[in-house]
A and B are shown apart, each in its own frame.
Chain A
Amino acid sequence: MTDRRILVLRTVLLWILLELFAAVQVHAPGGEPLLWSWVRATVSPMLWAGEAVGSFIGGVVTGVSDSARLVVTNRKLQLDLETAEAFSRIMAEDMAAQLELGSLVSMVPNLTSTAVPARTTFRDLARGRMIANVATDLRISADTPVLASHGVIGRVIRSEGRRCWIELITHPVAAVAIQTQDGRVQGLAIGSDTGELEIQFIPRQAQLLRGDELVTSGADGIYPPGLPVGRVTAVRESANAFLEVRAKPAATLATARVVLLLEGWMDGIQSRDPVR
């Protein structure tokens, strides 16, 4: 830096000091030295900027904390939503169950007042077993017929508390006395490992076609007559005296939600029996 520039620089600094010195001598309208108002005018924007920055930082901090709270609230709402969805699914399930129950009730015209609805809680189609819960702690008699929508599914083999163990008609040892709708062909539906029914004791001359509907005949003393059991899927002649007939259960065992336990149906019939 040349001497001239240094001289000018010093002179300018001196001018600034002189102006400040003059400002000390002059008083603002408020009575304070003009220099203070200058200082305030210089510092105020910085203070304002500082406050603005502080406010901004505070806003950011508040925003972050609010965001964190929102995340927590959002998570809680998601959980609530999942819970509501679960309840919705349960309610939809209940609604479907109610519809099934309605169809069941309409399926049995002479339904006795002792018929008990139950909800299935477990099913093992391979072993031909199902567990259903009744609403109240009610003892269900063994061999009580069990209906699902579209037809018979089995009988109660054990009852304990609210739980009922059901032997499905597809169980290899289960047997249901059946007949055709017109009652001209009668036989016995036996369970099998394949999940289908083997219809036994159908005479060779019986007029049974594929697609014919089979209902309970009531001859076994367990199932009331007239309940759908299945539909014929195959009719073949065999070496022995009877036809080899296979049928598919009418009830959808795999999706049955609600079943109807026909507890005491025999009592109603017996009370109306004129012989008795």
Chain B
Amino acid sequence: MRTTFLLVLIFIAQVVLGWPASPGWLSTILLPMVFVVGPPLLMEERRWPHFAIALGLVWDLLFEPVVGPGAIAWSAAAVAVSAVAPLVADRSPRAWWAFGALGATLMILARHIALIPLGLSTDLTMHYLFFSVGLTSLWCGVVGWVIALDLPSRWQARRARKLR
């Protein structure tokens, strides 16, 4: 339930980032990438790539001209991150940042490749790729840093100290 709530929240935020009034570079951030990077780093179950397909389908419904390529792209990123994450012991924000970059790169490339046969692909510029990958990895790094802070534990510790 919490995941669903977060997902809805993330997608709303993604829609907001893409509003015409907002700066153009904001829409290049792939906010749902945290749901691709998070589960492998948090040691959750391996069926997560299938969930990434559902995530991609929602992405397609909201942002893509056809349903399908987004699901492929997001699940491709999830499969890759799931495959590489067990090989790395680091679970720090830096790992979130790195896996965010990996997932974003794969998502953008897979989406572009999936759109080519449909005749819907647009020019993929290196500028866009670096910009999107950089911002998305930063976003994932921030999320990882927040998780690493473990705010609920700190809050509880602080309340315990005050009560004493």
Query: Does B46 lie within 8 Å of A22, measured CB to CB?
Result: no
| Dominant secondary structure of chain B at its interface with chain A | helix
B37 within 8 A of A: no
Query: Does A25 lie within 8 Å of B79, measured CB to CB?
Result: no
In the bound complex, what is the Cα–Cα distance between A3 and B89 (angstroms)? 22
User: In the complex, which residue of chain B has the Cβ closest to the Cβ of A10?
Assistant: B50
Query: Does A18 lie within 8 Å of B69, measured CB to CB?
Result: yes
| Cβ-neighbour of B75 out of A4, A11, A20 (below 8 A) | A11
| Cβ-neighbour of A34 out of B49, B75, B76, B119 (below 8 A) | B119
Query: Does B118 lie within 8 Å of A26, measured CB to CB?
Result: yes
Query: Does A18 lie within 8 Å of B71, measured CB to CB?
Result: yes
B13 within 8 A of A: no
Annotate A2-37 by CB proximity to B: 1 below 8 A, 0 otherwise.
011001101100110011111101100000001000
Known A-B contacts A19-B72, A22-B66, A22-B114; the reply to A7 vs B120 at CB < 8 A is no
Known A-B contacts A19-B117, A22-B118, A23-B118; the reply to A8 vs B79 at CB < 8 A is yes
Query: Does B68 lie within 8 Å of A18, measured CB to CB?
Result: yes
CB distance from B76 to the nearest CB of A (A): 7
In the bound complex, what is the Cα–Cα distance between A15 and B77 (angstroms)? 12
CB distance from B86 to the nearest CB of A (A): 10
User: In the complex, which residue of chain B has the Cβ closest to the Cβ of A16?
Assistant: B72
Annotate B45-59 by CB proximity to A: 1 below 8 A, 0 otherwise.
011011001000000
User: In the complex, which residue of chain B has the Cβ closest to the Cβ of A17?
Assistant: B68
B76: A residues at CB distance < 8 A: 15
B67 within 8 A of A: yes
User: In the complex, which residue of chain A has the Cβ closest to the Cβ of B120?
Assistant: A26
CB distance from A210 to the nearest CB of B (A): 113
Query: Does A14 lie within 8 Å of B119, measured CB to CB?
Result: no
Known A-B contacts A8-B79, A26-B119, A34-B119; the reply to A19 vs B68 at CB < 8 A is yes
Query: Does B119 lie within 8 Å of A15, measured CB to CB?
Result: no
B46: A residues at CB distance < 8 A: 3-4, 7
Known pairs A11-B53, A19-B69, A26-B120. 7 more at Cβ < 8 A?
A7-B79, A14-B71, A15-B76, A19-B72, A21-B67, A23-B68, A34-B118
List the 5 shortest-distance A-B pairs measured between CB atoms, nearest first. A22-B68, A18-B68, A25-B66, A22-B66, A15-B72
Interface set of A (CB-CB < 8 Å, partner B): 3-4, 7-8, 10-11, 14-15, 18-23, 25-26, 34, 38
